[in-house]
Amino acid sequence: MAEAITISNLTDRPEFFDRIADRIWRAWWEPHGVPLAYIVGRMQENLKGQPLPRAFVAHAGEMFAGTASVIVSDLDERPQYTPWVAAVWVEPQFRSQRIGRVLISHAADHALSTGVPCVYLTARPARRSLYEELGWRVVEEGVGVLAMTVFARDA
């Protein structure tokens, strides 16, 4: 029988730090020539125990399953929007198990618990139906050079 997935705050499970930094770097930063050390530095901000930034880890016991973060800003083009659910990653062997949905919801709930009226998320247009299904509304489309869609979820 497969072990249940738990969502933990990274501060409570720091042994997953290196794996999360690696996945975030490889997925979004390495292709643009950003050094891993930059991501490690940014990730260390999550260990200070402040409400933001905050990283969460999905795990089955000691097995890493995925991650999601809440950060102050995710799009340079839209500094007025804050906070953001970002860096959502699910390990390939855990995909199609709805873990990404749980991570997104957990991160959004955390952001909203800080008292903000809404939380933002950005995604490629192809993911629009997923986020709308999860209760997110489209705020803007075609933002930036990657023509991203900006979503919001209200408190």
**The pLDDT value given to residue 2:** 60
Cα 6 from Cα 22, distance rounded (Å): 20
The CATH superfamily label for domain 6-116 reads Gcn5-related N-acetyltransferase (GNAT) (3.40.630.30)
Which amino acid appears at position 143 of this protein? V
**The pLDDT value given to residue 3:** 79
Domain residue limits, the chain? 6-116
What is the full per-residue pLDDT of the chain (155 aa) written as tens digits?
Answer: 467 999 999 999 999 999 999 999 999 999 999 999 999 999 999 999 899 999 999 999 999 999 999 999 999 999 999 999 999 999 999 999 999 999 999 999 999 999 999 999 999 999 999 999 999 999 999 999 889 999 999 99
Parallel, antiparallel, or unpaired for β 137-143 and 148-154?
antiparallel
Cα 46 from Cα 33, distance rounded (Å): 23
Helix runs in 16-127, H state only: 17-24, 36-44, 99-113
101 within 8 A of 121, measured Cβ to Cβ: no
